[in-house]
Amino acid sequence: MQECVSEFIGFVTSEASQKCRKERRKTVTGDDICWALATLGFDNYEAPLKRYLHKFRELEGEKSSQSDEGNWP
């Protein structure tokens, strides 16, 4: 099972990485992974991952703003 999952992750990451190379970027983002999932026909994984990514970014933004507030004298 672990080999199968590792192969899947490598497959999706490779597709996302190729997109980044074509766009002359060095960093693969969550959006690139979502794009790769859709491109490779894994639409049923792409939508939940996009929702998770959106919520994660919201929480990270809240954490960042809270830590910024704590830095004011």
Per-residue pLDDT of 3-55, as tens digits, reads 999 999 999 999 999 999 999 999 999 999 999 999 999 999 999 999 999 99
What CATH number does the domain containing 35 carry?
A: 1.10.20.10
Note whether residue 70 is domain-resident. no
User: Is 1 a member of any domain?
Assistant: no
Q: How many CB atoms lie within 10 A of CB 34?
A: 21
Domain that holds residue 51: 9-61
Q: 41-63: buried (b, 16+ CB within 10 Å) or exposed (e) per residue?
A: eeeebbeebbeeeeeeeeeeeee
pLDDT at residue 69 is higher than 70? no
Q: Is 41 inside any structural domain?
A: yes
Does the residue 3 lie in any domain? no
Q: How many CA atoms lie within 13 A of 64 on its CB side?
A: 6
Identify whether 38 is part of a domain: yes
Domain count, the chain: 1
Note whether 15 and 39 are within 8 A (CB).
Answer: yes
Residue 73 forms part of a structural domain = no
